[in-house]
A and B are shown apart, each in its own frame.
Chain A
């Protein structure tokens, strides 16, 4: 049969419609790019981290240089953000505080994730009493009110002489990271547990087992990588939550102890001096707010981009 022109054109277009093979991550990136605010947020986060890392080199003054003649100074060309109650340069302290606050939040996040992934994977893979105990424990920890317990544990750990001797100056950082980890692993554990449960019955798990892979191998090389999507989202959002928690604890005097600056402890007792220089209280909180806002936007965009329909 002689094909008419329209006929041939139709079939030609149809065949050329095959999409090129794109990697899964490329597709995720493309979907992420649609959320312009989130992309901007990534820049904000990177900027904060850079400033924190480079603080010792870019800060105009040493962080503990006291100048009792110029306390509560307002912004001048010498002190761009003014000075605090002991005459220390606010900008410098802000930069150094970024280091500590981000360091503790990131460390706590990394540790919590490790603990959470381990607990969730073990519970999901080994059904039976291990599973029950682990998940009941996880649920129990989840119902506990976070802040009140954080306060108690912070105070308690900080007062133990054994720990004081072991860590010395770094005690407050250690305590905060420890305490945030103890109360922060549950979300990830639950997510990984759920994911592992559903992946258990998929073909590749059965195949791996048939080939003789051991439990640990299956967990680490198959189950966990396939649970990455919800983990990534939870980790991102958890980072923001931890930054705020560390700051709250430091604000209450149970986090990072002065003179080490933290965004939180720069506001401790601010109610007392807001009458003298209100801006001192503004900047640290603003930093927290900006980076947590960026993290939240990024986390939300990641959640959209990693939609289960994509099936990483």
Chain B
């Protein structure tokens, strides 16, 4: 799986460095007094005049050693690592809250729907799920801003904290509500349907009949026997959606001016700041691998039929 990491990082590196652009172009165009000489010097300084495979090896060695380069544009001159570490916590906050909310809401909705199949509640929930899955994230974000920040003025219209209250938990929560809601809505809609269908599959199984025949009460049958089986595919699916959560964070952080990795990634791409883009890509690749591993491990934990002896 580390092969994957290498592959992705190499791929991205080569692609990025083969495209024109980069800070020197900007410099070239903005200041007519910069001569070719100066450019050549800068290139040598940034190591841009070496052949590409050399540059890749150099970069890779640096990354392993912990030197992730310096930002070109977004935080000009600052080491990439410090930029990332200052932002990563914010994204983790956002993703954790959204993930938690998604699970906590999708589970009961999905379970209830499956138990009351074809009831009016089930139809309403199904309809709302479709709504949630069809809504583009960015539109939802903008609409939430309009309704809750502009019109109702209940929540702030972006940013992470009020000036001077950076460490206040309640304040941070106020700023967190809108972006977290936007980030988790799609998942709640889609996961509740998934759980519903998973539960429906399980509810038709013979071992539930056995459980009832033993004299167990219905709620024990549902929770201890049915749910435990229905959660198996769900848990592994949650593990695998972590990278997609990051994708959603890119859009959400941009709309709500949340200074996290998603926003950083986007800004870096727009500014052609390749060191940062590469670094985020490495982290992302790591996330993909880790979430796949996590999904596999969780699957083995919850399903005794899949155990590696």
Residues of chain A having any CB pair with chain B under 8 Å: 140, 143-148, 151-153, 155-156, 159-161, 240, 244, 247-248, 251-254, 264, 267, 270-271, 274-275, 278, 281-282, 284-286, 288-289, 292-293, 295-297, 300
Closest B residue by C-beta to A251: B138
A contact residues around B80 at 8 Å (CB): none
Q: Name A292's contact: one of B136, B140, B266 (CB within 8 Å).
A: B136
| A39→B133 CA distance, assembly (Å) | 19
Q: Is the CB of A281 within 8 A of B284?
A: no
| Contacts known (A140-B4, A148-B246); A156 close to B288, Cβ less than 8 A | no
- Chain B contacts to A: CB under 8 angstroms: 4, 8, 12, 15-16, 18-21, 130-131, 133-140, 142-143, 145-146, 150-151, 157-158, 243-244, 246-248, 250-251, 254-255, 257, 265-266, 269-270, 272, 277, 280-281, 284, 287-288, 292
* A145-B284, A152-B277 given; A267·B146 CB < 8 A: no
B244 touches A146 (CB 8 A): yes
Q: If the complex has contacts A252-B266, A271-B145, A274-B146, are A288 and B139 also in contact, measured as CB distance less than 8 A?
A: yes
What 18 additional pairs, Cβ within 8 angstroms, besides A148-B246, A248-B137? A143-B4, A145-B284, A146-B244, A148-B284, A151-B269, A159-B19, A248-B136, A252-B266, A254-B269, A264-B136, A264-B138, A267-B142, A278-B150, A281-B139, A281-B142, A288-B139, A289-B135, A300-B130
Q: How far is the CB of A171 from chain B (nearest CB, A)?
A: 14
Number of residue pairs spanning A and B whose beta carbons lie under 8 angstroms apart:
125
Q: Which chain A residues border B243 with CB–CB below 8 Å?
A: 143-145
Which of A151, A159, A267, A284 is in CB contact (< 8 Å) with B266? A151
A144 touches B288 (CB 8 A): yes
Q: Can you sample 30 A-B contacts with CB below 8 Å?
A: A143-B292, A145-B244, A145-B287, A146-B247, A147-B244, A147-B248, A148-B250, A152-B12, A152-B281, A155-B270, A155-B272, A159-B19, A159-B272, A247-B139, A248-B136, A248-B251, A251-B138, A252-B138, A252-B254, A253-B270, A271-B157, A271-B158, A274-B146, A278-B146, A285-B140, A289-B134, A292-B136, A293-B131, A295-B134, A296-B130
Tell me the smallest distance from the CB of A195 to a CB of chain B, in Å: 21
Contact B136 A271 (CB under 8 A): no
List residues of chain A with CB within 8 A of the CB of B131: 293
Give B49 Cβ to nearest chain A Cβ, in Å.
Answer: 20
Residues of A within 8 A of B19 (CB): 155-156, 159-160
Among A151, A153, A289, A295, the residue within 8 A (CB) of B139 is A289
Given the complex, which residues of A lie within 8 Å of B270, measured CB to CB?
Answer: 155, 253
Contact of B15 among A152, A282, A284 (CB under 8 A): A152
Cβ B288 vs Cβ A143 within 8 A: yes
User: Once bound together, how far apart are the Cα atoms of A293 and B132, in whole Å?
Assistant: 9
> In the bound complex, do residue B142 and residue A271 qualify as a contact, i.e. CB atoms below 8 Å apart?
yes
Contacts of B269 in A (CB 8 A): 151-152, 155, 254
